[in-house]
Amino acid sequence: MQLKQLPEDFQTALPILKMIEDAGFEAYFVGGSVRDHILGLPIHDVDIATSAYPEEIKNIFKRTIDTGIKHGTVTVLMNDNSYEITTFRTESGYQDFRRPDKVTFVRSLTDDLKRRDFTINALAVDHNGNVVDKFDGLADLKNHLIKAVGVAEERFHEDALRMMRAVRFQAQLDFTIEGKTEQAIADNAHLLSKIAVERVHEEFVKMFYGQAWKTGFADFLRLGLSEYCPDFQGQTAKLKKLAQAKNIVMNDETMVWTAVGFSLGLSGEELNQFLRDWKVSNKIREDCQSTEKMLRDFQHKEIDVWQIYLLGVKNVSRVESLCELFDITIDNKKINEKVAKIPIKDSHALKITGKDIIDILKIKPGPKIGEYMTSLEKAVVTQTVTNSYQDLASYLLIL
């Protein structure tokens, strides 16, 4: 197969390929960028593989960075762009089920493609747009299949995270996992426990960003991967409720973790600990707890205007989407009316300052000033008092 036209990102990088080839080596565009272009999807990163060894690449280009030189990767800087150039390589000895103990540089593209995870990612394109397809990746793209390169079990023993990548690609591309690959995941799901939580976390969240996240998540449960993830042991029945929920767009990490926590019935400190176990950042943990509280309030028909204000309009929209996901009936009109009536957008809009409070109450600066400001802010938001200096000063005196 030959591409009718190279995508713009490839055309921009063609001088890189030409310089490598002029030096007597082979060079190809490889991996996800090739896959995504053939599928008509946007390209995110352009990766280049070459028969040139790292030191040879550094001799060809003036500006380089040793990004991962032990594993054959050198970043080349050219025309305000950066490109990762990786030497063809073979790998062996995966004692930690994640990283190879030994990397050997080779001159053969075929040997390099053999170590890739799935056939749809084992495609290469030369400078003329000719597609190199050694493992029927084009056919699998056409048939919407996620299929391991070679023996699936061997690929998952090399890197157990590939099992998570399988369900992530399934969700992202709306593909089906090929039979032998699927069976190998089920047989080797236990190896996922060998992988750092942070790495599993990354693939787990990306899975929910996919157009077919329900399918990917359902297979994540069905194939037993969930049993080797933090706090999911014995929770399949609860998690299935999420897999069977309505299909909405999951477009941020807070939405993903709130949905998962809610399906497990977690709130408060239990939710916080669950998120800690998954190595979720402090900021997202805080957002999840606020979002989960409002979700439960909405579930019980309680609309707290102060809580809405603290969350912000974006988060209210997120909660409304989660209500749709879990089929929770809410009065959107009433919520929107309350949002519209909030007199201020933030504390900066208050017609009184911390200095004013010090002058009015004749007190010294300290933490108490912040407490007074919060009380006044809440009074304005809940329309207990109007946002004028005189009314706020009078209200301050009776606090």
Tokens of 19: 């310089």
The answer on whether 222 is annotated among ligand-binding residues is no
The answer on whether 116 is annotated among ligand-binding residues is yes
Question: Using an 8 Å Cβ cutoff, are 235 and 264 in contact?
Answer: yes
The answer on whether 112 is annotated among ligand-binding residues is no
The answer on whether 35 is annotated among ligand-binding residues is yes
Question: Using an 8 Å Cβ cutoff, are 319 and 252 in contact?
Answer: no
Question: Using an 8 Å Cβ cutoff, are 41 and 110 in contact?
Answer: no
In angstroms, rounded to a whole number, what is the distance separating the alpha carbons of residues 245 and 135? 37
Question: What single DSSP character describes residue 279?
Answer: T
The answer on whether 126 is annotated among ligand-binding residues is no
The answer on whether 168 is annotated among ligand-binding residues is yes
Look at residues 104, 173, 117, 172 and name the one whose alpha carbon lies nearest to residue 143.
Answer: 173
245: how many CB neighbours lie within 10 A of its CB? 18
Residue with tokens 């929209």: 317
Measure CA 323 to chain center: 22
Question: Using an 8 Å Cβ cutoff, are 165 and 218 in contact?
Answer: no
Question: Using an 8 Å Cβ cutoff, are 116 and 90 in contact?
Answer: no
Residue with tokens 């109450």: 361
133's enclosing H/E stretch is strand 131-133
Look at residues 120, 93, 100, 110 and name the one whose alpha carbon lies nearest to residue 37.
Answer: 120
The answer on whether 199 is annotated among ligand-binding residues is no
The answer on whether 162 is annotated among ligand-binding residues is yes
Look at residues 325, 316, 169, 328 and name the one whose alpha carbon lies nearest to residue 248.
Answer: 325
Tokens of 42: 């946007």
What residues form the annotated binding site for CTP? 32, 35, 116, 159, 162, 165, 168
What residues form the annotated binding site for ATP? 32, 35, 116, 159, 162, 165, 168
What residues form the annotated binding site? 32, 35, 45, 47, 116, 159, 162, 165, 168
What residues form the annotated binding site for Mg(2+)? 45, 47
